[in-house]
Amino acid sequence: MPGKEWKDTDGNPINAHGGGVLYHDGTYYWYGEYKGEHTYRSPGVDWDCYRTEAGGVSCYSSKDLYNWKFEGIVLEPDTLNPHSDIHPSMVIERPKVIYNDETGKFVMWMHIDSYNYWKAAAGTAVYRSLAFSRRDQEDPAQRQRLWASDRLLHQRNFADQRIPKRR
pLDDT digits (tens, 9 = 90+) for 43-86: 777 777 777 778 899 999 999 999 999 999 988 888 999 988 88
| Best CA proximity match to 85, nearest among 72, 71, 75 | 75
Q: Return the pLDDT at 132.
A: 52
Q: How far apart are CA 64 and CA 85, in angstroms?
A: 34
Report residue 98: phi and psi, to 5°.
-125, 160
- 115 or 46, which is more confident? 115
Q: How far apart are CA 91 and CA 8, in angstroms?
A: 25
Q: How far apart are CA 161 and CA 159, in angstroms?
A: 6
Residue 130 binned pLDDT confidence (cut-offs 50, 70, 90)? low
pLDDT digits (tens, 9 = 90+) for 145-154: 333 333 322 3
Q: Return the pLDDT at 154.
A: 30
